[in-house]
């Protein structure tokens, strides 16, 4: 018997304020044509004044609990993947815990930028497999636009805000790829690539929040290479062929990255869940937002094989292969 972390519910939340490329072009030297052609992005949601990452996280977690048919008092672990915590400390997860779950359960944040949700899944999967949690929530939540330099058109048009969450519950399997639940996670990082994608501030350096800085072309190249390798690694570890994957739910940074990676893998682009057009890059929130979209519109169904993959600042990257 193998313990598996089964996705029992999925939920998401987007701030009400939707901003189109045309809206952005009124305040930034850009155009709908450039953004659409280079990225596939058509709009993004942006937090309102006073709206915080924890607000988004709590709303997404409530939706995931509702979809799982569970109440918060059944949860024994909360992990929030975020780059934009409400405060430097305490963790945003503690806010979620206070709002949703019984006092005393562990809660903490994971910081792996755009790979954060995959990192969070891996951490919680290991807690569940070790018998230290039976029901957990993993949330990817970002008020990422708070990190943008609105005078830098190379970055400010690319990102948005939002949150997505899954409820994971301990289940039993036979130990093969027919099991329901998380079949594998693989995580990587390469800190030598810091200067490719980073925020130029922080409590320990400038005592300011800082802004996102990115060498877009180089990040693009690394993303395609690392994500392709991550997918091969997940398939090999599970003795699964690419053709067995029902859905790829990738981190949503750029439609061209999604298309190029699918092409390199020989995977039909129609099997890739795409939300970057609607949400832009929401960092740690992008995978659970896309997963929620695929489940909500009926494309992703119980029993199907879903491969999540992400790459972000650090660099960090990784994958999670899950049977729904």
Residues lying near ligand UT7 in the complex (CB under 6 A): 30, 34, 38-39, 114, 153-154, 157, 216-217, 219-220, 223, 253-254, 257, 281, 311-312
What DSSP assignment string belongs to 237-257? Answer: HTT--GGG--EEEE--S-HHH
Least distance to ligand UT7, CB of residue 64, Å: 23
Q: In this structure, is the dihedral angle defined by the CA atoms of residues 298, 302, 306 and 311, taken in order, positive or negative?
A: positive
CA 115 to chain centre: 6
Least distance to ligand UT7, CB of residue 164, Å: 15
The reply to whether 238 belongs to the active site is no
Q: Report the residue number, 6 or 121, with the smaller CB distance to ligand UT7.
A: 121
Please report, to the nearest 10 degrees, the dihedral formed by the alpha carbons of residues 152, 89, 170, 130 taken in order: 110
Rounded Cα–Cα distance for residues 67 and 155 (Å): 35
Instruction: State the catalytic residue, choosing from 186, 211, 222, 251.
Output: 251
Least distance to ligand UT7, CB of residue 254, Å: 4
Least distance to ligand UT7, CB of residue 220, Å: 4
Phi and psi at residue 140, to the nearest 5°: -110, 120
Q: Report the residue number, 25 or 70, with the smaller CB distance to ligand UT7.
A: 25
Q: Report the residue number, 106 or 216, with the smaller CB distance to ligand UT7.
A: 216
Q: Report the residue number, 5 or 82, with the smaller CB distance to ligand UT7.
A: 82
The reply to whether 156 belongs to the active site is no
Instruction: State the catalytic residue, choosing from 21, 254, 281, 292.
Output: 281
Rounded Cα–Cα distance for residues 27 and 39 (Å): 19
Instruction: State the catalytic residue, choosing from 21, 114, 254, 279.
Output: 114
Please report, to the nearest 10 degrees, the dihedral formed by the alpha carbons of residues 133, 110, 58, 126 taken in order: -20
Q: Which long-range contacts (CB under 8 A, 24 or more apart) does 203-206 make?
A: 203/88
Q: Which residue numbers are catalytic?
A: 114, 251, 281
């Amino acid at each position: 018997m193998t313990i598996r972390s089964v996705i029992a519910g999925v939920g998401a939340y987007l701030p009400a304020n939707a901003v189109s490329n045309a809206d952005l072009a009124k305040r930034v030297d850009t155009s709908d044509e450039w953004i659409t052609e280079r990225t596939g992005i058509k709009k993004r949601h942006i937090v309102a004044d006073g709206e915080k990452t924890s607000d988004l996280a709590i709303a997404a977690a409530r939706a995931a609990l509702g979809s799982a048919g569970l109440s918060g008092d059944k949860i024994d672990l909360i992990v929030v993947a975020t780059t934009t915590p409400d405060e430097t400390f305490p963790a945003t997860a503690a806010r979620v815990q206070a709002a949703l779950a019984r006092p005393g359960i562990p809660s903490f944040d994971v910081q792996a930028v755009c790979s954060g949700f995959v990192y969070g899944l891996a951490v919680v999967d290991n807690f569940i497999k070790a018998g230290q949690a039976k029901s957990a929530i993993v949330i990817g939540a970002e008020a990422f636009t708070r990190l943008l330099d609105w005078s830098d058109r190379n970055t400010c048009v690319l990102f948005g805000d939002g949150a997505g969450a899954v409820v994971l519950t301990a289940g039993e399997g036979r130990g093969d790829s027919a099991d329901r639940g998380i079949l594998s996670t693989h995580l990587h990082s390469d800190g030598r690539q810091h200067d490719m994608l980073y925020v130029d501030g922080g409590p320990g350096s400038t005592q300011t929040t800082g802004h996102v800085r990115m060498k877009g072309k180089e990040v693009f190249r690394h993303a395609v290479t690392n994500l392709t390798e991550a997918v091969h690694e997940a398939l090999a570890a599970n003795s699964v062929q690419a053709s067995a994957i029902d859905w790829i739910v990738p981190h949503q940074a750029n439609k061209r990255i999604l298309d190029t990676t699918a092409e390199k893998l020989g995977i039909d682009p129609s099997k890739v869940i795409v939300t970057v057009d609607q949400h832009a890059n929401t960092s740690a929130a992008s995978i659970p937002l896309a997963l929620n979209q695929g489940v909500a519109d009926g494309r992703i169904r119980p029993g199907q094989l879903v491969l999540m993959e992400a790459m972000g600042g650090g660099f960090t990257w990784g994958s999670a292969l899950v049977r729904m």
